[in-house]
Structure 1
Amino acid sequence: MRAAPRAHLYRVRRRAASPWPEGRSPKRTVRTGATPVAQGRTRMTHRHHWQDWTFAAIGAWLIVSPWVLGMTAGLAMWSIVALAAIVVALGLVGLAQSGAQDGTDYAVAVIAVLIVAAPWVLGYTGPVIAAWNAVIFGLALAIAALWTHLIPHEGGHA
């Protein structure tokens, strides 16, 4: 005959309730006087703010570049200024956000494609350098916007 199993060997140890997210300890988080749960956070997030600064800087350049490079006023010039103003606004929104927001990055990537296509779609007039300006800085925006989505990285850092 087999001996009856011992019930105490099969008890599962229960962990005490903790305000810290799974795998985190108080030593790994910023000490602000309140627990992460009390602050409304349940998991750690990371935001690459260098991208937001890049969006704002390139957008600001694209706003002033038509006058610096001598573009003639028209639909092409004002469309670049409007798209660049949206990029600046998205960069500032990204700087104001504390958590990772993919929507901002994807929106800038779509606008970057429009900026790159603008010289051919809208028919730039004036110096050829204005068309190259849109292409080069539009590609730079697209690369910055998609950096964390295309480059493999570990631990949330690119």
Structure 2
Amino acid sequence: MENWTNAKWCDVANLVLGAFLFASPWMFGFDAGAASRNAYVAGIAIAILAIAALAAFAVWEEWLNLIVGLWTLIAPWVLGFQGNRTAMTIHVVVGIAVAALAAIELWMMSQNPPRLTASG
């Protein structure tokens, strides 16, 4: 664990948030509509991006996580499930957290870009 940077901790947090979002329809009893479908799809996307970033960091993964986080944040209004207060709250909170973590990682990378090494 000596090579664990703050960026990797952000990716672990995103992995947990993605798993939580994916499991939330079962944990909180969402109906089988748009809220559940979006939780499954966005949760899987967030988790896969987090795993990819943990395996081999690339800036594009953080940009995609930012986009998925923002989508998760606005999904209750776009998909029309803002009447389901529990699903809406979970989507908004997870969306804000994922987008914020992605923005923090992007900011950290702009402050301290990874060093390129010559192989050979």
Q: Name the counterpart of 2:22.
A: 63
Q: Name the counterpart of 1:22.
A: none
CA distance in 1, matches of 2:64, 2:94: 16
What letter corresponds to residue 25 of structure 2 in structure 1? P
CA distance in 1, matches of 2:14, 2:73: 15
More helix by share: 2
- The one of 94, 98, 101 aligned to 2:58: 101
Per the alignment, in what secondary structure is the counterpart of residue 11 of structure 2? Answer: helix
CA distance in 2, matches of 1:152, 1:108: 15
- The one of 63, 66, 87 aligned to 1:130: 87
Matched, 1:117 2:64: no
- The one of 82, 85, 97 aligned to 1:140: 97
Deviation at 1:154, TM superposition (A): 5.4
TM-score by length of 2: 0.79
Deviation at 1:62, TM superposition (A): 0.1
Q: Name the counterpart of 1:84.
A: 43
Per the alignment, in what secondary structure is the counterpart of residue 73 of structure 1? Answer: coil
For residues 11-90 of structure 1, what are the structure 2 equivalents within 5 Å?
Answer: 48-90=7-49
Deviation at 1:127, TM superposition (A): 3.9
Deviation at 1:109, TM superposition (A): 0.5
Per the alignment, in what secondary structure is the counterpart of residue 18 of structure 2? Answer: helix
Count of residue correspondences: 110
TM-score by length of 1: 0.61
Larger radius of gyration: 1
Question: Cα RMSD between the aligned structures?
Answer: 2.5
What letter corresponds to residue 35 of structure 2 in structure 1? A
CA distance in 1, matches of 2:70, 2:82: 20
